[in-house]
Chain A
């Protein structure tokens, strides 16, 4: 069995920046329904432009994929994108199995994997050693899973994401550097009602 290299601080040298990856994914978002995990993915999505149909989590760690699943099942004709981090997803690893059971074709998960708990001091997550989150999703029956490590992979990601069979999960290895804080509104009731008004015309 092959193993990924052990933790050598490699994420400090990853060429991709998280902000550019997310900006490209949300550039022509249109009616895309977006849920973000807490922390940096929420800041990244907000830096790309706060929007009504993005629901940024400020807590509920481990719940982002599950929330995206419930939304995707409720709206089978709409595309649902979950943007989250490696630490957040590691806390809800079972949710990959739950999604694999349901097979929602309209769901995509993009993991911005910096191999760090970026909000708490940069401690290394399990992906810094052996855990391959795309491999976990594949083993749970997700039809499309892959890992992006360079500019060429990032450039084709926004289109490729929706050209593949869903559900799909993409791990994007991003540099461990922290970006400036760009925070979304934090009133959960307001965020929920904003999203529902935009999608359903009711709070």
Chain B
């Protein structure tokens, strides 16, 4: 079942005239990505790596379109140098980041990037809004979009793992290896 915040966030993006949805997938974003693929007024732009999206949305803005960049927290690390484009040129940038490596994470390799995501984004000059309750996601995205597109400013919304639920890692065949 799609979480209730997904259609609310999608409507918020449509209300903000978002026309390009650039993304690297995450399980927590799957329903939003499906919305983007199904919406005729919106172009879904899957990326090979997250930093491409910073440049894609800068190009979109040069051409008069607004966009949003969706990624998992691990992708934030990939973006760092390209974020200088948004900062130096004051391009609007709206990022929705689903968190890994925090609440109940069962993959320790996700923890290093997840634990520094907010600090890294702030160091890179973005405004960062964290949301840890499902019924606050849409209003947070709405506030972030307002600041991104009217500033213009670079704004990231971090959607906490407590909202999304941690990945369960059910093993099909136990390997017997240390874990």
> Contact residues of A with B, CB < 8 Å?
33, 35, 55, 57-64, 66-75, 78, 92, 94-95, 97-98, 101-102, 188-189, 191-192, 195-196, 199-200
Contact = CB atoms under 8 A, between A and B. Distances in A.
Interface string B78-94: 00011011001111000
B18 to A, nearest CB: 12
Interface stretch (B8-16, B62-70, B101-109): B62-70
14 contacts: A35-B59, A57-B85, A58-B88, A69-B59, A70-B58, A71-B62, A73-B45, A73-B56, A73-B65, A94-B48, A95-B55, A98-B45, A98-B52, A195-B62
Contacts of B96: none
B118 interface: no
A199 B64 CA distance: 9
Interface of B: 19-20, 22, 43, 45-49, 51-65, 67, 81-82, 84-85, 88-91
Contacts of A64: 55
A62 B51 contact: yes
Given A57-B85, A59-B88, A192-B62, 20 more contacts: A33-B63, A35-B59, A55-B62, A62-B51, A66-B52, A67-B55, A67-B59, A70-B57, A70-B59, A71-B60, A73-B20, A73-B45, A73-B60, A73-B65, A74-B19, A74-B63, A98-B56, A101-B46, A192-B89, A192-B90
Contacts of A61: 81
A191 B58 CA distance: 12
A33 B63 CA distance: 9
6 closest pairs, A vs B, by CB? A70-B59, A74-B63, A94-B48, A188-B89, A63-B55, A66-B55
A189 B51 contact: no
Given A59-B85, A101-B46, A67 B20 contact: no
A134 to B, nearest CB: 18
A92 B52 contact: yes
Given A61-B81, A69-B56, A70-B56, A189 B89 contact: yes
B62 A62 contact: no
Nearest to A201: B64
A72 B58 CA distance: 12
Contacts of A68: 59
B81 A60 contact: yes
A60 B48 contact: no
Contacts of B53: 66
B90 A196 contact: no
Nearest to B53: A66
Contacts of B65: 70, 73-74
Contacts of A74: 19-20, 59-60, 62-65
Centre residue among A64, A67, A102 by max chain B CB count within 10 A: A67
B62 A196 contact: yes
Nearest to A189: B90
A60 B55 contact: yes
